[in-house]
């Protein structure tokens, strides 16, 4: 007698098709998430929007192994817009400070931010900083301090800004940012006599969320290092965002 053998799949053809469609959909979503963000979303400007930072600073001085530590709070708020002679929008940003979260804000100054098609410039304290350039990419480098009048002894001299991380998620304490840029401003951390590190994180829809500026000179006596990387002088200032909104 001839026998008929049937091979039964553990799932139906419809299930296979549905599974393949789900895989393609997830792959499409992943691809979209990795596409470059609108570069201008990393430095959004809207009148009334604000950012509040906690600022901590450690200052080292010669002969004092323990730093003097200070903590305060800064609030930046976009107050108004004006136009320059070429018709470009210039955003006036107010900066206020307080020593404790329970104190009232005290206005300290205003600065000017201009967003060009290819860059952002900040006019503050009689200096012009160029923190971002567009489009961003792996091989993009620029002199963020090109408009500064600094000499070779300045810790900021001689370094080119570049993008170290792009369009990546970033956790900062309890805050989660889906897309961020990390801009390296200087990185000389392996030398025997000094330590230079500066970087900023920017998040889409928010702007600056973290700023770390560290400059140490290691302790020397009669031209010789004292110990291994003992800090003789310098400072570290960290600004991290704790609140933002409109």
Domain boundaries, the chain: 34-245
Cis peptide before 135 (omega within 30 of 0): yes
Q: Which residues partner with 225 through β-bridges?
A: 220
DSSP state of 40: G
Q: What is the mean pLDDT of the segment spanning 155-179?
A: 94
> How high is the pLDDT of residue 28?
44
Domain covering 34-245 in this structure, CATH number: 2.40.360
The two most distant CA atoms of the chain are separated, in Å, by 105
CB 67 within 8 A of CB 56: no
| Beta pairing, strands 89-98 & 224-225 | unpaired
Distance CA 33, CA 167 (A): 9
Res. 41: pLDDT tops 50:
yes
Res. 1: pLDDT tops 50:
no
Q: What is the mean pLDDT of the segment spanning 84-105?
A: 94
Tell me the backbone φ, ψ of residue 39, rounded to 5 degrees: -60, -30
Res. 15: pLDDT tops 80:
no
Distance CA 83, CA 102 (A): 36
CB 205 within 8 A of CB 224: no
pLDDT tens per residue, range 129-152: 999 999 999 999 999 998 887 887
Q: Higher pLDDT residue, 87 or 26?
A: 87
Report which secondary-structure segment, H or E, holds 27: helix 13-34
pTM of the model: 0.83
Tell me the backbone φ, ψ of residue 126, rounded to 5 degrees: 65, 25
Average pLDDT score over the chain = 87
Residue identified by tokens 């329970």 is 102
Res. 85: pLDDT tops 90:
no
- The count of C-alpha atoms lying within 13 angstroms of the C-alpha of 121, restricted to the half-sphere facing its C-beta, is 16
């Amino acid at each position: 007698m001839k026998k008929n053998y049937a091979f039964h799949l553990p799932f139906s053809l419809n299930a296979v098709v549905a599974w393949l469609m789900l895989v393609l959909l997830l792959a499409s979503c992943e691809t979209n998430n990795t596409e470059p963000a609108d570069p201008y979303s990393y430095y959004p400007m809207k009148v009334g929007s604000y950012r509040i930072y906690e600022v901590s600073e450690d200052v080292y001085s010669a002969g004092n192994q323990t730093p003097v530590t200070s903590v305060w709070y800064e609030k930046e708020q976009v107050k108004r817009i004006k136009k320059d002679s070429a018709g470009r929008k210039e955003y006036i940003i107010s900066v206020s400070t307080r020593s404790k979260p329970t104190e009232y804000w005290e206005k300290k100054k205003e600065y000017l931010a201009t967003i060009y098609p290819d860059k952002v410039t900040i006019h503050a304290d009689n200096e012009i900083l160029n923190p971002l350039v567009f489009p961003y990419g792996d091989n993009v480098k620029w002199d963020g301090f090109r408009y500064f009048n600094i000499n070779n002894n300045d810790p900021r001299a001689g370094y080119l800004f570049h993008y170290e991380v792009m369009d990546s998620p970033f956790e900062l304490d309890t805050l989660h940012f889906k897309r961020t840029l990390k801009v390296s401003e200087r990185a000389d951390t392996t030398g025997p006599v000094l330590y230079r590190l500066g970087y900023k994180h920017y998040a889409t829809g928010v702007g600056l969320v973290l700023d770390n500026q560290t400059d140490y000179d290691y302790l020397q006596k009669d031209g010789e290092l004292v110990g291994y990387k003992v800090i003789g002088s310098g400072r570290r200032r960290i600004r991290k965002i704790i609140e933002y909104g409109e």
